[in-house]
Structure 1
Amino acid sequence: MADIRPYRSTPVFDQDTLPAALRSRHDTKAGVWGVIRILEGRVQLTCLEPLSQTILTRDNPGVVLPGQPHFVTPLGPMKMRVDFYNQVPFS
């Protein structure tokens, strides 16, 4: 199995530094998968197409498909980052 690595990652954000752009509706670019990695705490991922809500934790990262509209909501103190891939990040 190939070792799939992100081509870019965000800084680590906490509940205070998480940008407003990530807290409101936004999309990944065409051909880009986002993996939301929780380092501490919990975050709610809301995907708008198709509509779903998932609680993300250290053991349950969130995967956002190319072009999928979504936003995240911190659920108390947390730390997270987003890794971006130009291919499916899992096999």
Structure 2
Amino acid sequence: MTLETIGSEEVAELLRCTPQQVEELARAGEIPGLKFGRPWLFVRADLLAYLAEKARAEAQERRAKRQPNAPTPIVKPRRKVAPPLPQPARM
């Protein structure tokens, strides 16, 4: 499996900003990136997943502001914790 890496210029086109802004965001930890020597490298799939997650979170915040009295949704964990194993009987 190969991961497509892109540079600051391509990320800037994707985010519609400047390469300098991309590098500032990466330095601040706002977007996932890796400083490899002088240039920054970004994994396209990781960047898109991060952006999608951030967009969903911001949309949720906007919905909460529109409906301030609405209950916050309960997020269930994906995996259930296995029940504890029964203890052997002591004699």
TM-score by length of 2: 0.25
Q: Which protein has the bigger helix share?
A: 2
Greater relative contact order, per chain length (Cα 8 Å cut-off, separation 6+): 1
Pick the structure with greater CA Rg: 2
